[in-house]
Amino acid sequence: MPRCKNIDHNLRIIFLHPNRCGGKSIEKIIFNRDPVKGSADHSLPKHFVKMFGEELWHNYYKFGFSRNPWDRSASLYFYRKNTLNYFPFSNFYEYLCNGIEEFPHDFITQSEYFFYKNSPINFIGKIENYQTDFLIVRQHLKINKDLPQLNRSKNRSHYRDLFDNTTKNIVEKWFYKDISNFGYIF
């Protein structure tokens, strides 16, 4: 079972962190966790509920940040390709078609992080508006910390450059809930 580290009982908050959605920056300033490999907590709502109970889940402020699914898929691909000693895919298409076997976590929808029993968490910001949306979180938490940009991808072109119609449609099918729930377009 995941570790469920993104919880603060004093602040009464839970942070939901889909991978490649800027969460290590938040984990650093709110939970004082350095952004090293393996430090991120990608627990889902069901994990927090199992560990702490539904009453706590309903009474804590829950927030997270979403990311355009096409951009997130490209970021996941490059992150895996550039940081792993073993990456079994020769191109982006192979990763999208077969990656779920090697990296099932990459294919969990962001909606699974941000909805529990069809109810959304308190605040879902967008990476595309990261600094502005984080101000809402800061205001709620009554903290005055600036959000650093940690674990950012390097040497990567714009995500649109990676896609053709086939790969665009694959991501659209995998992440249709995110596209619908959060209003993303290619």
User: pLDDT digits over 108-157, tens only?
Assistant: 999 999 999 999 999 999 999 998 999 999 999 988 888 877 656 655 67
Domains of the chain, first to last:
7-182 (3.40.50)
- Res 2 pLDDT > 70: no
Contact yes or no for 15/51 (Cβ under 8 A): no
Give CA–CA dist 88/7, Å, rounded.
35
Give CA–CA dist 179/186, Å, rounded.
9
User: pLDDT digits over 11-52, tens only?
Assistant: 999 999 999 998 999 999 999 888 887 788 999 999 999 999
Give CA–CA dist 47/3, Å, rounded.
8
| Mean pLDDT within 151-174 | 85
Structure tokens at 96: 């999208």
Is the entire prediction scored with pTM above 0.85?
yes
Q: Which of 74-78, 141-145, 157-161 has the highest mean pLDDT?
A: 74-78
Helix 165-174 to helix 92-102 angle (10° resolution) is 30
Give CA–CA dist 122/73, Å, rounded.
25
